[in-house]
Amino acid sequence: MHDIIDTAVAAGTFTTLAAALTAANLVDTLKSSGPFTVFAPTDEAFAKLPAGTVESLLKDIPKLTAILTYHVIAGKVMAADVMTMDGKTAATVNGATLAISTNNGVKLNGTITVVATDIAATNGVIHVIDSVLLPA
């Protein structure tokens, strides 16, 4: 088993996320002992953003860091734990909260769908999401 970063890279569907984490200098943090829960957008999720968004974020490191840390919760939150959180919020590492709904699957902030859960890593867990979370 690998840490969150190596697990995501090995999956092959998170190359944009890996590049963004590298640009924001967050790789070492997510390789540390944690534990962390990461809601990981796939390359397809990043592709849904308006044209040029990823490129502009890679040049605006403070904004990129705020977005990336909005995808991380301190601690290891497994899918079974999330299922008990309907109607509640979870604090993210960037200080903002995510709204959680468990009606018809798990949704974050009402529109982001969790498409795969409980991808174990040595320092936490990854849940795959279909869109990029953007803090308000």
pLDDT tens per residue, range 48-59: 999 999 999 999
Contact 64/57 with Cβ under 8 angstroms?
yes
The reply to whether 134 falls in a domain is: no
135 within some domain? no
**Residue 9 belongs to what domain range?**
4-129
pLDDT at 136: 79
Average pLDDT over residues 80-86: 92
Cis peptide before 135 (omega within 30 of 0): no
Assigned domain for 67 exists? yes
Neighbouring-strand partners of residue 120: 125
CATH of the domain at 68: 2.30.180.10
Region of 67 please: left (phi>0), alpha (psi -120 to 50) or beta: alpha
pTM score, two decimals?
A: 0.95
Helix, strand, or coil here: 57? helix
Q: How many helices (H) and strands (E) does the chain have?
A: 7, 7
